Chain A
Amino acid sequence: MREYFKNIYEAIVTILIGMGVTFRHLFVPSVTLQYPHEKLKLPERSRMKLFVNIDDCIGCRQCERACPVDCITIDTIKAGKDEDLGAASNGQKKRFHVTKFDIDMSLCCFCNLCTFPCPTECIYMTPEFDFATYDRNNLIFHFSNYTPEQVRELKEREAQQKAALANAKTGKKPEQK
């Protein structure tokens, strides 16, 4: 019998304590942000969207290798002997035409592994996060500056050079097309 009344007493008291907690919180200012109007200031390190400063890219492909989900696709064409592509901002010499530098953000797992091996620190994560789109293809970001014509030109030249090289090695005549 004592147990019975003790239970009832405990139930009432603990419920009242709990109600006290929630009542106090009625008057506590909210901790949430009204998102589209107020935005959280994201710290520098926050990893949201990948960005490539293509001017600094030397086409070393280290980021492509580091990526665990293969979301970075890079195509490079070796620069000619007499060609000078300039240097990245930290002095590394550019030896490749980066004809394609695509990042598929729909594949990206935001692990940041690609940014560490980059010798010129040209690929990095930015705190920009609202890049949702209606079409998945819009999440493939193209960073290369080369137009398709330029790429075709460069490719033809490379093919010619290769053919010439092969020609020089074997001494055969290049096949006529």
Chain B
Amino acid sequence: MAQTNNFPETRFELEIPDPLKTDEFILNMGPQHPSTHGVLRVLLKTDGEIVESATPYIGYLHRTFEKHAERMTWPQVVPYVDRMDYLASMNNSLGYALAVEKMMGLEVNERAQYLRIIVSELNRIASHLVFLGTYGLDVGAFTPFLYGFRERERIIDLFEEISGGRLLYNYIWIGGVAFDAPDGWLEKVNEFCDYFEPKIKEYNDLLTFNKIFIERTANVGVIPADLAINYGLSGPTLRGSGVNFDLRKNDPYCIYDRFDFNVCIGKGEQGTVGDSWDRYYVRIEEMVESAKIVRQAVNQIPDGDAKETVPRNVRVPAGEIYFRTETPRGELGYYIVSDGGKNPVRVKVRAPAFCNLSILPAVARGTMVADLVAILGSLDIVLGEIDR
């Protein structure tokens, strides 16, 4: 009893047990659980199937990225940055490279810029494909997972050809890219777009418009626009709530202002605006838009030496910067402090998945255990980025 006052009238109120009241069930979901997308631990208080509270506990994949970065030289940070959001390495290193370049006042070669756009948009498609597949798994459909990976494999093959890596590329460097595209690579990218665009229909037939899938996701985990903004959500998770905010449009970085694409927002087609289905469908639509950007970039790419502007020694003047880019998961911000030396003094990352996860307790209350899995999946978290 925290109350020490003996006087209040409540003293005589007997606590009458509700005969139908059952105990809460404390359920430890994770860190080893098939649908927590890695090593997230969610502590659930449940009343039967109803979740009364869900508290995410993170840190099981903490790899001290930020401390590591302080010890590394400027270019050495890039492989570490890749490992944060391992499903979208290109987008991560793009943000870091752009931030450092802005500090240095470095103007990057045109061809390298186009190559950067191509690879990061391809990586956005690859990341959303993984989302599609794992989200299918979360709601119990196995086959979309394999279909998603089938297409992703082609993207990864393209990446392997241009950068040598299949998952962690270390391709986008400060001042340019690591390699120029090999012969015939750009044609292959175009071929991939031709191959990929019709596949969207297959996903839609199999999963998106499946009645069971709609029932499982529509009206589940509704995040209203104001709540989404208050929690600092970003990326498709925010746009799913009907907020038109895409850094590629609203705060164009790199050369995104040269391309024609739409920002996809949730419209509440199958339920309420901001439900899990909207967040899912925004990503499906975004894949089409990314393919559009890739096509434009491949058609416009100028000739030149992509490695022209890569500095031999990276000298960053003293100062600090916050630079944000749009990764597949949302707004990835780098706050970098330099003292003019060989190493960054501080690299702080504003991880989109971390902020997106923070809304889970607010949304999960009152849903069912199965819904919780669907909501968690629709946030599209990557634990590598949350724990860093």
Contacts and interface: CB of A to CB of B under 8 A. Distances in A.
A18 B210 contact: yes
B170 A113 contact: yes
B165 A31 contact: no
A112 to B, nearest CB: 6
A68 B150 CA distance: 33
Could you tell me the dominant secondary structure of chain B's interface residues? helix
Contacts of A66: 76
Interface in A55-99: 66, 68
Contacts of A112: 164-165, 170, 178
B150 A111 contact: no
A46 B206 contact: no
A47 B82 CA distance: 15
B282 interface: no
A6 B165 CA distance: 49
A64 B75 CA distance: 14
Contacts of B206: 18, 21-22
A53 to B, nearest CB: 18
A31 B150 contact: yes
Interface in A10-53: 10-11, 14-15, 17-18, 20-22, 25, 31, 42-47
B212 A111 contact: no
Contacts of A11: 211-212
B245 interface: no
Contact of A21 (B72, B165, B168, B205): B205
A47 B202 contact: no
A109 interface: yes
A174 to B, nearest CB: 40
Contact of A45 (B82, B160, B207): B160
B202 A43 contact: no
Given A21-B205, A47-B165, A113 B160 contact: no
B257 interface: no
Contact of B210 (A14, A46, A111): A14
A125 interface: yes
A10 B162 CA distance: 45
Contacts of B72: 68
Contact of A43 (B76, B161, B168, B170): B161
B161 A15 contact: no
B334 interface: no
Given A43-B161, A47-B165, A68 B76 contact: yes
Contacts of B160: 42-43, 45-46
A15 B212 contact: yes
Given A11-B211, A18-B206, A18-B210, A111 B79 contact: yes
Contacts of A10: 211
Interface string A91-119: 00000000000000000011111001000
A56 B179 CA distance: 23
A7 interface: yes
B179 A45 contact: yes
Contacts of B168: 109-111
B28 interface: no
Contact of A7 (B166, B202, B207, B211): B211
B373 to A, nearest CB: 21
B182 A45 contact: yes
A112 B82 CA distance: 13
Interface in B65-122: 72, 75-80, 82
A141 B202 CA distance: 47
Contacts of A116: 178
Nearest to B83: A109
- Give the top 5 A-B pairs by smallest Cβ distance, nearest first: A111-B79, A45-B164, A11-B211, A68-B76, A47-B164
27 contacts: A11-B211, A14-B209, A14-B210, A14-B211, A15-B210, A17-B205, A17-B210, A18-B205, A18-B207, A21-B202, A21-B205, A22-B143, A43-B161, A43-B182, A44-B182, A45-B160, A45-B162, A45-B182, A46-B165, A46-B166, A47-B165, A68-B77, A68-B80, A109-B168, A111-B78, A112-B170, A113-B79
Interface of B: 72, 75-80, 82, 143, 150, 153, 160-166, 168, 170, 178-179, 182, 202, 205-207, 209-212
Given A14-B209, A18-B206, A46-B164, 4 more contacts: A15-B212, A47-B164, A47-B165, A125-B164
